[in-house]
Amino acid sequence: MDYTSAFRDPALCRGLLERLARALDAGGGKPLRFMEVCGTHTVAIFQSGLRALLPPSVTHLSGPGCPVCVTHDAEVAMFLNLAERDSVRIATFGDLLRVPGPDGRTLKHALAAGARVDIIYSPLDALRLAAGHPGETVVFLGIGFETTAPTVAGAMLMARQQGLKNFTVLSFHKLVPPALRALLEDPECAVDAFLLPGHVSTILGLEPYRFLAGEYRTPGVVAGFDPADILLALCLMAEQRRDDAPAVVNAYRRAVDDNGNPRARAVLEQVFRPADALWRGIGRIPASGLTIAPDFADMDAMRRLDLVLPEVKPIPGCKCGEVLKGKRAPDACPLFGKTCTPANPVGPCMVSTEGSCAAYYKYHLEG
Ligand code: SF4
């Protein structure tokens, strides 16, 4: 099978749209508000034009699936303060460079002012930086979900093997299933079904999502990123609601095993421990983050550099928190497209290409 075009085939997509319409009709025309919790899904849905093709009773909500966007204001303030320290070198993925802290400062500003900030493309690049700068403490900014965290854990194991003493990780990693539970616990939650993240699910498999259907009677469908993948997932959600039979199912079998990736999870469990974490707009969610295990304390930037999360105020006027919970569309933020644009982002949802506000701006406004 040609995996690059088969799942974008217009005839296949038309057939799936008809199947979706039939399932919605047979379900009494009830609205289907589905939320995706993956930045790649956010972009795929906008970029493919699917939003414009969906039946009027289907509403797309973007959830807390963009790693940069969910990084809390206090976490941003912490790494901005850290960048000002002597003998610290920050290693970060490029997206974080433009995320504004509570006072509007970014790592880019810090870099311009002389801070040691390096953009990397893999955690292994951070190991190389540490080896090349033995007089500095290299701090890798660990953000992202279950997909990214195993690669960071692998880098930490390699650092130990290589005897690197100056490589550390500031772990702000987040876990998806506890965030879904937090969203569903909100009395104002308007989500009828979840489009579950394909990448994260390659690690987790289906088991950690079972509570969606079991405890909250909410369908959850693991989906790929092509239009036919997403439409098939919507069909399955609508059919589950038609039949009053919510379930968690895998509609991305070409990439996701129902059992996930046990080896990647084993590496995660060796290096990290679940811990409460702060999410932008949602707040503290129990056991929704990863802290570094005691055996790896020498690589834990929090302990090694005596870091404490500062008390900060949210960015004035920015509604990212509500956008991330699906309670407000990006263009319902008063700053959208005015003071906040991709060229001059006020909040993180406008920074990352995977952020809801940036995707909305690029594909909806610029069209
Ligand atoms: S438009 Fe800008 S300020 Fe408003 S929610 Fe989005 S990122 Fe935040």
340 Cβ below 6 A of ligand 1 = yes
Q: What is the pLDDT of residue 364?
A: 74
Asked if residue 265 has pLDDT above 60, the reply is yes
357 Cβ below 6 A of ligand 1 = yes
> Relative to the CA of 336, which ligand 1 atom is closest?
1
Residue 175's φ and ψ, nearest 5 degrees, are -115, 135
> Strand 32-36 relative to strand 58-62: parallel, antiparallel, unpaired?
parallel
Q: Compute, in angstroms, the gap from residue 100 CA to the centroid of ligand 1.
A: 11
Order of strands, sheet of 58-62, starting from the edge strand that comes earlier in the sequence: 58-62, 32-36, 193-197, 220-223, 248-250
Asked if 138 and 166 count as a contact pair (C-beta separation under 8 A), the reply is yes
Q: What is the pLDDT of residue 243?
A: 97
CB atoms within 10 A of CB 342: 18
Q: Which residues contact 82 (CB under 8 A, 6 or more apart)?
A: 88, 90, 139, 170, 301, 305, 307
Q: Tens of pLDDT along 41-96? A: 999 999 999 999 999 999 999 999 999 999 999 999 999 999 999 999 999 999 99
Closest to 74 in 3D by CA, of 323, 283, 274: 283
Residue 290's φ and ψ, nearest 5 degrees, are -125, 120
Give, using CA atoms, the residue closest to atom 6 of ligand 1. 357
Q: What is the pLDDT of residue 103?
A: 87
32 Cβ below 6 A of ligand 1 = no
325 Cβ below 6 A of ligand 1 = no
Q: What is the pLDDT of residue 27?
A: 92
Please give the domain boundaries of the chain with CATH numbers for all domains. Answer: 1-319 (3.40.50.11740), 320-365 (no CATH)
Helix (H) or strand (E) holding 139: strand 137-142
Q: What is the pLDDT of residue 310?
A: 95
58 Cβ below 6 A of ligand 1 = no
Span 326-349, average pLDDT:
94
Q: Which residue type occupies 324?
A: L
Strand partners, 32: 58
pTM over 0.85: yes
Q: What is the pLDDT of residue 8?
A: 87
Asked if 90 and 120 count as a contact pair (C-beta separation under 8 A), the reply is no
Average pLDDT value for the chain? 95
Q: What is the pLDDT of residue 366?
A: 56
Closest to 176 in 3D by CA, of 211, 141, 152, 151: 211
Asked if residue 175 has pLDDT above 90, the reply is yes
**What is the rounded distance in angstroms from the CA atom of residue 129 to the CA atom of residue 100?**
25
1 confidence band (pLDDT: 50, 70, 90): low
346 Cβ below 6 A of ligand 1 = yes
CB atoms within 10 A of CB 332: 11
Q: Tens of pLDDT along 273-296? A: 999 999 998 899 999 999 999 999
Closest to 125 in 3D by CA, of 152, 87, 165: 152
Asked if 209 and 203 count as a contact pair (C-beta separation under 8 A), the reply is no
